[in-house]
Structure 1
Amino acid sequence: MMNTKKSMRVALPLLMLAGIVGCSDSDPVTQMYEVTVTNLSNSQPLSPLAVALHSQTYSGWRVGESAGTGLEQLAEGGDNSMFLTDAVTEGAIATFSGAGVVTPGAAERIDVSVNSSTDLRLTVATMLVNTNDAFAGKGGIDLNALALGEQITMTLPVYDAGTEGNSERAGTIPGPADGGEGFNATRDDVNIVSRHSGVVTDIDGYADSVLDESHRFDAPVAQLVVRRVN
């Protein structure tokens, strides 16, 4: 008759050894983050968020340089699809899109994850839809030192994509202030990305503007919170 107790004594050490062998230091560890953007503006809805995880070799835009077509489409029409596709083509580790427009006072959280990386950065971008081509964003946020449970909080600066003149005229702004045209492949501005100087609006006597004082963004328009959860 087989000695069951003896068999168990042999089998258990083998199972324990198998478990140790299976837990290699080289196994990938998933890093997870909550990326939350809150709209702080009065009357500037934000287009669906574009979020990319990447290394320092990728850049969604550079001040003083021409915007890519993906960024142009995001900044003029709020469409983030080409911007995210371009990010993957240019080496981004993973990309994520928001579910929809983030209205003033509202917030959206996107849960992002990636296998462990020795160089992990974050880029976030979104259009101010009651403008010609303004976008709020931050590129290359360093996540490498962010420990489990820690978070980074910042406001997002506003940039001018430089691809469409800031005319503020009827038919040129896709947001609810106008309901006009979004992306147009013709570039009629300085063709470089820069910090946005703000909108003029009709309050300053610019009669052609479809914008009013509520559409201004002298104060921060969006807050970003990145929290590591795994």
Structure 2
Amino acid sequence: MPTDSRLPTSRRAFLAATGATVGGLVLGGTALAQQEGGQGNGSARRYRVTVTNHTPYQPFTPPAVALHRPSIEVFSVGDPASTPVQEIAENGNLQPLLDVVQSANAIRGAAVGDGPLVPASDPGDTGFPYYVELHVDADASARYLSFISMLVATNDGFVGLDTVPLPQEVNSSLTYFAQGYDAGTETNTEMFADLVPPAQALTGENREGIDGTGTSNPDLAEDGVITPHPGITGVGDVPEAFGWEEPAASLVVERIA
């Protein structure tokens, strides 16, 4: 079994990323503070969120979860992707989302995994786990959870949940299944040169002389909206086996004592 990663939040501390990297992409873990401002609602509640990668070949960047009030919307199918969603979907860059977590009073608690999640078969022989446990604290005004993680071997794919209810009773749980989405911000070339560098290292598809990129390419910009991801079509370097059947991930959300 893979090693669990339990990252409890702190009410006051914002802990910096560890800076672990794979192929140049920052994959560090971060525990994020519950927001202090505004009117809370009761004492802190603790939740255990177990995120599992169900794909046969697609690795995820470290999963990010946020507990929040209903005024927060991370993404919506049919709408353009926000900058934080675009940066995660194209470049695996969590920083814009972390900035929102720090500044948005409606986000009451959040956490990020300390490394990527690979398929259970671990096709790149990385030693990374296929699931992770995150512990997150929030007050009772946080009634919803959102989750997002990049589908690494895609141009602008991500897996996520937006504004799903949290369990309310101690020792109760809810299970959610998350599908893959296309951010609509970059053309799906499926070429390793256009994907983030860890796309090869994490999948075992190491192509000599192809480094990939961790920045957006204006020449590939696509003025689209978020849609269900079409999967891998085989038009470029990425093998069709790197496609997946939905759901791409599951989340078990438990309220614990």
1:122 alignment partner, one of 135, 141, 145: 145
Offset from partner CA, 1:141-176 (integer Å, 9 cap, x none): 111x53111111121111111111111123111112
Matched, 1:140 2:167: no
Hey, what does 1:21 align to over in structure 2? none
Q: Secondary structure at the match of 2:241?
A: helix
The percentage of aligned residue pairs carrying the same residue is 29
2:241 alignment partner, one of 214, 226, 230: 214
Q: Residues 162 and 193 of structure 1 are in contact (CA less than 8 Å); yes or no, is this contact kept in structure 2?
A: yes
Q: Residues 72 and 183 of structure 1 are in contact (CA less than 8 Å); yes or no, is this contact kept in structure 2?
A: no
- In 1, Cα distance between the equivalents of 2:224 and 2:55? 26
The range that moved more, 179-188 or 156-165, is 179-188
Q: Residues 180 and 246 of structure 2 are in contact (CA less than 8 Å); yes or no, is this contact kept in structure 1?
A: no
The range that moved more, 56-65 or 91-100, is 91-100
Matched, 1:83 2:97: yes
Q: Which runs of 5+ in 2 are unaligned?
A: 1-39, 121-129
Q: Which amino acid aligns with 1:100?
A: G
Q: Secondary structure at the match of 1:66?
A: coil
Q: Secondary structure at the match of 2:138?
A: strand
Q: Residues 52 and 84 of structure 1 are in contact (CA less than 8 Å); yes or no, is this contact kept in structure 2?
A: no
- In 2, Cα distance between the equivalents of 1:85 and 1:27? 24
1:181 alignment partner, one of 213, 222, 232: 213
Q: Residues 144 and 165 of structure 2 are in contact (CA less than 8 Å); yes or no, is this contact kept in structure 1?
A: yes
Q: Secondary structure at the match of 2:193?
A: coil
Offset from partner CA, 1:24-44 (integer Å, 9 cap, x none): xx9932211101111111111
1:46 alignment partner, one of 60, 64, 68: 60
Change (3 A) 1:96 1:168: same
Hey, what does 2:192 align to over in structure 1? 170
Q: Which runs of 5+ in 1 are unaligned?
A: 1-25
- In 2, Cα distance between the equivalents of 1:160 and 1:210? 18
- In 2, Cα distance between the equivalents of 1:35 and 1:180? 32
Q: Residues 55 and 245 of structure 2 are in contact (CA less than 8 Å); yes or no, is this contact kept in structure 1?
A: no
Q: Secondary structure at the match of 2:133?
A: strand
> After the TM superposition, which segments of 4 or more aligned residues of structure 1 sit over 4 Å from their partners?
none
Q: Secondary structure at the match of 1:157?
A: strand
Matched, 1:229 2:249: no
Give the count of matched residue pairs. 197
- In 2, Cα distance between the equivalents of 1:142 and 1:88? 22
Hey, what does 1:199 align to over in structure 2? 232
- In 1, Cα distance between the equivalents of 2:100 and 2:231? 28
Q: Which amino acid aligns with 1:95?
A: A
**Pairing of 1:3-82 with structure 2 (within 5 A):** 28-82=42-96
Hey, what does 1:131 align to over in structure 2? 154
Aligned-residue RMSD, C-alpha: 2.0
Q: Residues 192 and 238 of structure 2 are in contact (CA less than 8 Å); yes or no, is this contact kept in structure 1?
A: no
Q: Secondary structure at the match of 2:117?
A: coil
- The normalised TM-score by structure 2 is 0.71
Change (3 A) 1:152 1:27: closer
Q: CA deviation at 1:185?
A: 6.2
Q: Residues 50 and 84 of structure 1 are in contact (CA less than 8 Å); yes or no, is this contact kept in structure 2?
A: no
Q: CA deviation at 1:68?
A: 1.3
Matched, 1:111 2:139: no
The range that moved more, 33-42 or 77-86, is 77-86
Q: CA deviation at 1:84?
A: 2.8
